[in-house]
Amino acid sequence: MKYKLLSLNAGRPETYETDKGDLKSAYRKKPLNASTYLSYLNFDGDEQADKKNHGGRDKAVCLYPAQHYRYWEEYYNVPFSFPAFGENLTVEGIEESEVRVGDIYQLGDALLQISEPRKPCYIIARTHGIDDFPAQVIQKGYTGFYLRVLKEGNVKPGDYLNLVEAHPDGVTIEDVNDLRYHDRGNKRKLERVLALDALAEGLKQSLRKRL
């Protein structure tokens, strides 16, 4: 299974105006046109403004499926250009319902592992001026997800994300989103997700509080 990287994106924190006042964030990333080095923490030229909730080894790379753009453009009747969701990787064809926590992929010279779903926050609403955006992302399940870096290396636009190893537990990003937001009281599902060796430690700590 392989998926094409349509846009490779990075950005540093900046302060920009929104309809609810100034906002400091690295959300407004820009496409990169050249091969870029990916370290264990981020791409060269990429940084997080809120290091408490973003970044770190388990959230080194954010991926958003390119086909979801077409859904949101139709839903809101607004054009969105890459990377409107603040992602590092805009990838065509990959789906939250199919990929599993712990899956390992080759991208360029780097090796990546899916670690957790992305949690949409107020920044997407503030940046685009659409108040219900986070709620709609959660409801639809088009969250995207994070990956940790297992091997550093260069990545360039047009590279393919190639599945190297599928995680045997078979827990998809959609499964984790369902537990996180909808089926919150399902103890059996909670225990299954918590048993995942590849799940990001921060999310594990949050979910353990439900037991």
Q: What digits encode the pLDDT tens for the residues 39-87?
A: 999 999 988 756 666 668 999 999 999 999 999 999 999 999 999 999 9
Question: Which residues, other chains included, contact 91 with Cβ-Cβ below 8 Å and sequence gap of 6+?
Answer: 3, 4, 5, 6, 63, 64, 65, 66, 161
State the pTM of this model. 0.95
**Residue 56 backbone phi and psi in degrees, to 5:** 90, 175
| pLDDT (0 to 100) of residue 25 | 87
Count CB neighbours of 16 within 10 A.
12
Judge contact between 111 and 149, C-beta under 8 A. Answer: yes
- The neighbouring-strand residues paired with 153 are 38
Count CB neighbours of 203 within 10 A.
22
Rounded Cα gap, residues 167 and 172, in angstroms: 10
Is 60 exceeded by the pLDDT of residue 106? Answer: yes
Q: Which helix (H) or strand (E) element contains residue 71?
A: helix 68-76
Domains of the chain, with CATH numbers?
A: 2-208 (2.40.33.20)
Q: Which of 89, 205, 206, 207 is nearest to 149 (CA)?
A: 89
How open is the CA angle 68-7-15, to the nearest 5 degrees? 90
Place of tokens 């499964």: 175
| pLDDT (0 to 100) of residue 49 | 55
How does residue 204 score in pLDDT terms, banded at 50, 70 and 90? very high
Q: Measure CA 96 to chain center.
A: 10
Q: Which helix (H) or strand (E) element contains residue 173?
A: helix 173-181
Rounded Cα gap, residues 27 and 86, in angstroms: 5
List the structure tokens of 51. 């290091």
| pLDDT (0 to 100) of residue 80 | 97
| pLDDT (0 to 100) of residue 103 | 98
Judge contact between 111 and 152, C-beta under 8 A. Answer: no
Q: What digits encode the pLDDT tens for the residues 107-142?
A: 999 999 999 999 998 999 999 999 999 999 999 999
Q: What digits encode the pLDDT tens for the residues 132-180?
A: 999 999 999 999 999 999 999 999 999 999 999 999 999 999 999 999 9
| pLDDT (0 to 100) of residue 50 | 60
